[in-house]
Amino acid sequence: MGLFDIFSKKKLDTGLLRTREGFLSRLGKIVTGKTIVDDEVLDSLEETLITSDVGTETTMQIITNIQKRIEREKKLGTDRLNEILKEEISSLLIDNPFSDFALPPTPLLKERGAPYVILVVGVNGVGKTTTIGKLSHNFKKAGKNVMLGAADTFRAAAVEQLGIWAKRTDAQIISQGAGADPAAVAFDTVSSAVAKKMDVAIIDTAGRLHNKTNLMSELSKIKRVIQKVVPGAPHEVLLVLDASTGQNAIEQCKQFTEVTQVTALALTKLDGTAKGGVVIGISDKFKIPVKYIGVGEGIDDLQLFNKQQFVASLFHLTSE
Ligand code: GDP
Ligand code: GDP
Ligand code: MG
């Protein structure tokens, strides 16, 4: 394990501290004075998972799987409960196909001079702009040229905030100020990224459209104009969700997946929340990979999600 890996593992462990403490202390209480996993233990386990924001359906799935194990193995010692839960949770989490911040191989895109286009969506305040800033930083570190597009034109502050991240991460930015048509900004961003031979274009959007029809039409319009410039784009639609809102994050995921094809998730603000269990529920329910997790407000506080590391950290076991 390199220095950087140790550093990011520490960050993850700290980020999941409150989730882990709540979860493990409750698990500990369940098995106190118990030697085998019986109905009573399963009932308490169900309650613990639900109160850890894993979600009802995913919790039921986990309980059913453990019941099946008990049937197969006749007896299940409570000393094995942690290990078994770890296995069950891992099997529900979707593998993140990406293992580093360099972009997925896009030689054809490069040949055609097209950038990898990421459209970032999500409701107001979840951490879209911050995540874009952190992403830009990571892409830059991986040697990529980054173009940002300020298509959240609803507030002047939103445009300025992205501008600050562009400066900090030495990325280029396209903006037309507040009140501009978001689709026009997206068009300019991608066109400029093509002209300047950028590796990646990341488009920020407003999450404020109050009804589904508005949201859908705005996002489809943005996609349509991007495709005029780069057919097949956006290559990634990243939905940002605030993990600290627990079940609300699940509800937002439902809403956004109904209006647009979300290809990856970023779960922010895992630091300081006890609701980290929501990562498990969302991954299981929507079958969309959690690609990134946010473990702080700083520029280095975005991690590529790794399910082995996540589960190990949740149970505080050392991962190699
Ligand atoms: P947006 O409205 O979706 O663009 O959200 P912003 O990027 O403006 O973020 C809203 C707030 O959440 C800001 O104060 C960010 O610093 C904060 N934030 C974003 N990601 C994280 C995270 O992973 N951890 C913590 N603690 N705060 C975060
Ligand atoms: P409020 O009166 O401050 O709540 O503003 P509204 O939500 O009623 O929106 C006022 C105008 O801004 C309407 O024409 C909306 O279509 C538009 N609007 C609202 N939210 C967004 C957004 O997130 N993006 C964009 N581009 N326009 C928005
Ligand atoms: Mg923003």
Digit-coded pLDDT (tens) for 77-109:
999 998 999 999 999 999 998 888 877 656 556
Q: Per-residue pLDDT for 74 more than 90?
A: no
Q: Is the CB of 130 under 6 A from ligand 1?
A: yes
Residues 13-20, mean pLDDT to the nearest whole number:
89
pLDDT of residue 7: 82
Look up the pTM and report it.
Answer: 0.90
* d(C-alpha 233, C-alpha 116), whole Å: 8
- Return all residues near 203 (Cβ < 8 A) that are at least 6 apart: 117, 118, 119, 120, 148, 149, 151, 185, 186, 189, 190, 222, 226, 234
Burial, 167: exposed, middle or buried (Cβ in 10 Å; 0-12, 13-18, 19+)?
A: exposed
Q: Of 298, 320, 297, 296, which Cα lies nearest the Cα of 12?
A: 296
Lowest mean pLDDT among 2-6, 90-94, 171-175: 2-6
Q: Please give the pLDDT value at position 9.
A: 87
Residues with CB under 6 Å of ligand 2 are: 153-154, 182, 206, 208-210, 214
Q: What distance in angstroms lies between residue 307's CA and the mean position of ligand 3's atoms?
A: 27
Does pLDDT of 56 surpass 80?
yes
Mean pLDDT of the region 276-285:
94
Q: Which residues surround ligand 3, an ion (CB under 5 A)?
A: 128-129, 158
- Substitution candidate for ligand 1 out of 270, 297, 299 with most atoms within 8 A of CB: 297
Residues 238/302, Cβ–Cβ less than 8 Å? no
> Average pLDDT in the 175-190 region?
96
* Ligand nearest the Cα atom of residue 271: 1
| Residue owning the nearest CA to atom 16 of ligand 1 | 297
Closest ligand, as measured to the CA of 300: 1
Mean pLDDT of 158-181: 96
